[in-house]
Copies of this chain bind each other. A is one copy, B any other.
Amino acid sequence: MQPQTLDHVMLALADPTRRAILDRLQREGEARVTDLAAPFAVSLNAVSKHIRLLERASLVRRRRSGREHFLSFNPAPLDEAAAWIEEKRAFWTKRLDALERALVEDDAAKQRLRKGRKR
Contacts and interface: CB of A to CB of B under 8 A. Distances in A.
Interface stretch (A13-21, A32-40, A63-71, A106-114): A13-21
Interface stretch (A42-50, A84-92, A97-105): A84-92
Given A81-B85, A89-B79, A91-B26, A14 B14 contact: yes
A88 B60 CA distance: 13
Interface residues of A, number: 26
Given A10-B11, A14-B14, A82-B82, 15 more contacts: A3-B16, A6-B14, A7-B14, A10-B10, A10-B13, A13-B81, A13-B85, A19-B84, A26-B91, A75-B88, A75-B92, A78-B89, A81-B85, A82-B89, A85-B85
Interface of A: 3, 6-8, 10-11, 13-16, 19, 22, 26, 73, 75, 78-79, 81-82, 84-86, 88-89, 91-92
The winner among A7, A10, A11, A16 for most chain B CB atoms within 10 A is A10
B11 A7 contact: no
